[in-house]
Structure 1
Amino acid sequence: MKIDKDKVFKTLNPNKVWIPILFGVGIVGYLFYQDDTVTVENLSLIFTAEIVPVMLAFLVLFARDVGYVYRIRTITGEKLTWKSSIYVIILWEFASAVTPSVVGGTAVAVFILMKEGIKLGKALAYTMITAIFDNLYFVVMAPIIFFIANGSIFPQNAMIETQLGRSLPTLFFVSYGLIAIYTLVMAFAVLVNPRWFKWILLRLTSIKWLRKWRPYAYEQGNEIMIASRELRGRDYSYWFKITFSTMFIWTARYAMLNCVIEAFTNQDFAQHLTIFARQVIIWITMLISPTPGSSGTAEFIFNQFFREDLGSVTFVSNIFWRLMTYYPYLFLGALILPRWIARVFKKKK
C-alpha cells in the first residue's frame, strides 16, 4: 500500500472544518425555516436542561473516548504509549469528521499510526481490524434492537421521501445490507482465508469489463494478506479485549443521546430502549452519507426520527447531540494537528 503524504495532509487540513460546519448549519437553518413547530421560543428550552443528565452525557462521552484510546493501544499490542494513543484517536476522529463516511479514511489512519512508530504492515492490519469490529457491532446489534424496540424503531413519518430520494426504512435496509456483506467478506478475508480472497478478486477482474480494476484488486489482495499475517497467532484475550472495548465504545456513544434527551424530557425505560435502538438505525444510515462526517445528513435524519416523540425539544436536542458528538472533534483535531506534525517529524530528525 502506497501512502501519498500530500493526499493525507490534504485530508488532514484544519481549513476543512468549515465545510462540514456549513453543511450542518445549512440543514439546521432549513429545518428551522420549514418546520412550523420550531420557533425562537424553542431555542430557549436549551436553558431548561436538567443538570444531572447533562453531566452524565459528558461523563458517558468521556468514557467513550477513554474506550477508544484503550482499544487502539490494545489493538497495537501496547506498542503505542497512552499519549500516542490519544493523538491517534483525536486525529482519526478529525479525519472522519472532514471526510464523507462512505469514502472512509483508511490511508489517513495508516499514515497516523506509521508516524507514531508502527510499521506499515501492522498499521494496515490494525486499521482494518478496527473497521471490521466497528461494523460488526452494527451488523450484530441491528437485529437485536429490532427485537428490543418491538416494531417502534421507525417513526410514523419515516415513510416520507428524504432528500436522498428514498424512505428511511429503505435507506436503512440498503445500508445494512451493504455494510453486512462488506464486513463479513472482509472479516473472512483478514481472519480466515486471505489467499482465497485475493484469488477471487483476481478472477473477477479477469472479466473483460472489469480488467481496469485488476491493479487495484491485486493491491487490495496483497494488503489483506499482509494484514492477516500480522494478526495471526493472537491469543483469545487479545480478541476478547477488542470485542469488549468495541461494545463499550459504541454503547457509550449511543447512551449519550439518552442522557441528552432525558435532560429535556422524562422518558421511561421502554422509551429509552427505543431511543437507543433508533440510534443504531441512524448511524447505519449515516455510514453511506456523501457529506463530510455526515454533516447535514445526521441533523436531517435525527429530525425525522425524533420530532414526533420529542415535539418542541427536538430541535434543541438535535443541536445538543451534534455539538457534543461531532463538532468538538473538528476543532480539537484542528488545534492539535500542527503540534502533532511538529512532534512526529521532529522525532524523525
Structure 2
Amino acid sequence: MRGKKNIDTTLRKLRISRIILPICIGISVVCYLFWSHFDIQAFKSIDWGYQVFAWLLLGVLFYVIRHLAYSYRLFILSDKKLSLRKSAELIFIWEFATTISPTSLGGSAVAMIFLSLERLKTARAVTIVLYTIVLDTFFFVVSVPLLLTILGLNVIRPEIFTWDDMNGYGITFFIVFAIMLTYGFIFYYGLFHRPDQIKKLMAFFARRRILRRYKEKLIQTGQDIENSSRRLRAKSPDLHIKAILATFTAWIFKFALMFCIIYAFIDTVPRTLYHTFMIYGRYETMWAITAASPTPGGSGLAEYLFGGFYSDYVPLSLAVVVAFTWRIIAYYTYLMAGVIIVPAWIRKIYNRKKSVNLGE
C-alpha cells in the first residue's frame, strides 16, 4: 500500500499532461519572435553546407556526453547499486522532471521520490540529491569567478563592461548566484560537518501540526541522513574526485552546446578561443537567470532572452532560428523523451511492487 502511494505521488508530479504548459509557453514565445523578428532573406542567406550539420552533430554529441557524465555520477553516488543503464534512465526522468518544474529544485524534489522507488533507502536518495546540489554549486563557485576574471563583466551581457553598466540582468545574475552559494553551502555544511543539524531540522518539521502524520517518517529520515552522511564522509577521496569530475564534465559540455549552435548558423563569428569562451560564458549567466524563472524549465523566458544575451554574435533576424534549435536539443529533447520513458518506468515500478505484495 505504501509503495502504491509513493507511485501515485510520483505520477501526480510527473504526469504527462504537465508537458502541455511548457510547450505552449515556449512555442507561443517562438511564434511571437518569428512574427516580430524573423527575416526570410536572412534565413535564406544561411549556407546550408556540411559545416552546419557538422556543428549541430557536435552539439548533440556534447549533450550525449553531458547525459553520460550525469549518469556516471549517479552510478558512483549510489555505490553502484544502480547500474549505468539504470542511472542513464533515471537521469532522463530527472531531467524531464526539471523541464516541467518552475525551477531545478523542483526536479530535485521529484528525484528524491523516484530514487527511493528504485530500491534505495530514502535517506540514501536524499543524501544523493543533496550531494549533487553541493557538487553543482561547487562547479559554479569555480567557474563563475574564473570567467569573470578572464573575460570581465562583459561575459554577463553584451552591454555590460564595467560596474557602472550593471543593469537588472546583471543584478539578477549576482542575486541568483548568491542564493545558489547560500543553499549549496548549507547543504555542504549539513552533509559534511553538522548532519545533526539536518536531523534537528527534520525533528522541527515533524513537530508542525500540518506534518504530524509524517512525524515518524521525518524523524527516521533525519536519523538515516545522519548515518548516511557519516558513511559519505568515510568514502575514499577517489569517489569524491570522480563525482566532481563527472559534475564538471556535465556542466561544461552543457554550456559548450551554445557555441556549436552559433557556429553552425553564423559564419561571421570568429572561431577564436576568446569568442568560444565568451559564448560559453554567456550561456552560464543566462542559465542562472532563467533558473529563477517561474515558468516550467524556463520555457518562454529562455527563448525570449536569447537574442539579448547574444546580440553581439547573432543578428536579431536569425536569433529565433538559433534559439529554437538550441532549445530543441537542450530542452524539448528531454521533454519528449520523458513522454516515452516515464510511463514505461512507472509501469515497471508498479508491477515490481505488485509482485512483492503478491509474494507476501
Q: Shorter-chain-normalised TM-score: which range? A: 0.7 to 0.9
Offset at residue 42 of structure 1 (A): 4.0
The letter for the 1-side match of 2:248 is: M
Q: CA deviation at 1:309?
A: 2.4
Q: Does structure 1 conserve the Cα–Cα contact (< 8 Å) formed by 2:173 and 2:285? A: yes
Shift in Å at residue 148 of structure 1? Answer: 2.1
Alpha-carbon deviations, 1:195-217, whole Å to 9, x = none? 246558989x9xxxxx8899899
Which amino acid counterpart does residue 305 of structure 1 have in structure 2? F
The 1-side partners of 2:178 and 2:281 are apart by 18
Question: Where does residue 331 of structure 2 map in the other structure?
Answer: 326
Alignment of 1:130 onto 2:135: no
- Call closer, same or farther: CA 1:304–1:18 in 2, change over 3 Å: same
Partner of 1:294: 298
State the match for 2:28 in structure 1.
26
Aligned to 1:277: 281
What residue number does 2:340 align with?
335
Q: Distance in 2 between matches of 1:109 and 1:60?
A: 24
* Structure 1 position 69, deviation (Å): 1.3
- Asked if 1:309 corresponds to 2:313, the answer is yes
Amino acid at match of 1:84: K
Report deviation, 1:150: 2.7
- Could you list the runs of 5+ residues in structure 2 that have no partner in the other structure? 162-166, 356-360
- Please tell me whether the aligned partners of residues 202 and 214 of structure 1 are also in contact (alpha carbons under 8 angstroms): no
Give the secondary structure class of the aligned counterpart of 1:310: coil
What does 1:83-232 align with in structure 2 at a 5 Å threshold? 83-101=85-103, 103-157=105-159, 167-196=168-197, 225=226, 227-232=228-233
Q: Judging changes above 3 Å, is the alpha-carbon distance between structure 1 residues 151 and 257 closer, same or farther for their aligned structure 2 residues?
A: same
SS at match of 1:254: helix
Q: 1:316 to 1:120 in 2, by over 3 A?
A: same
The alpha carbon displacement at 1:79 in A equals 0.6
Identity of aligned residues (%): 27
Check conservation: 1:84, 1:116, Cα contact below 8 A. no
Q: Is the 8 A contact 2:303 2:323 kept in 1?
A: yes
Following superposition, the deviation at residue 114 of structure 1 comes to 2.0
User: Which amino acid in the other structure matches residue 121 of structure 1?
Assistant: A
Q: Give the TM-score, by structure 1 length.
A: 0.86
Q: Shift of residue 4 of structure 1?
A: 5.1
Match of 1:76 in 2: 78
Alignment correspondent of 2:10: 8
In structure 2, distance between residues paired with 1:346 and 1:45 = 54
Paired residue secondary structure (1:326): helix
Cα deviation digits, residues 151-173 of structure 1 (max 9, x gap):
321334579xxxxxx71101101
State the secondary structure of the residue aligned to 1:232: helix
Say whether the 8 Å CA contact 1:20–1:98 is kept in structure 2: yes
AA aligned opposite 2:176: S
Greater shift after overlay, 100-109 or 316-325? Answer: 100-109
CA distance in 1 between counterparts of 2:262 and 2:71 reads 27
Alpha carbons of 1:314 and 1:279: their partners in 2 closer, same or farther (altered >3 Å)? same
**Paired position in structure 2 for 1:163:** none
2:131–2:187 Cα contact (<8 Å) kept: no
SS at match of 2:179: helix
Distance 1:201 1:114 in 2: 18
What secondary structure does 2:120 align onto?
coil
Deviates more, 1:6-15 or 1:189-198: 189-198
Report the alpha carbon displacement of residue 97 of structure 1 after superposing the two structures with TM. Answer: 0.6
The match for 2:261 is 260
- Residues of 2 paired with 1:322 and 1:26: CA distance? 14
SS in 1 for 2:297: coil
- Is the 8 Å Cα contact of residues 158 and 310 (structure 2) preserved in structure 1? no
Amino acid at match of 2:119: G
Q: Offset of 1:223 from its aligned partner? A: 7.2
1:221–1:335 Cα change, 3 Å? same
Cα distance between partner residues in 1 of 2:75 and 2:45: 41
- Segment of structure 1 superposing worse, 219-228 or 188-197: 219-228
Which residue of structure 1 lines up, in the alignment, with residue 358 of structure 2?
none
- Alpha-carbon contact 2:98-2:106 (below 8 Å) kept: yes
Cα distance in 2 for residues equivalent to 1:95 and 1:235: 31
CA pair 171-34 structure 1, distance change in 2 beyond 3 A: farther
Could you say what secondary structure the match of 1:339 adopts?
A: helix
Alignment partners' CA distance in 1, 2:230 and 2:176: 30
Contact 1:157-1:304 at 8 Å conserved across structures: no
Question: Could you tell me how far apart the structure 1 residues matched to 2:104 and 2:61 are?
Answer: 29
Which moved further from structure 2: 38-47 or 244-253?
A: 38-47
Per mean C-alpha deviation after superposition, the further-off stretch among 190-199 and 122-131 is 190-199
Q: CA deviation at 1:230?
A: 4.6
Give aligned pairs, total. 334
Contact 2:104–2:297 at 8 Å: present in 1 too? Answer: no
Equivalent in the alignment of 2:39: 39
- Unaligned runs of 5+ residues in structure 1 are 160-165, 206-210
Give the C-alpha shift of residue 135 in structure 1: 2.2
SS at match of 1:152: helix
Output the aligned Cα RMSD.
Answer: 2.9
- The corresponding residue for 1:208 is none
1:45–1:339 CA distance, 2 compared to 1 (3 A)? farther
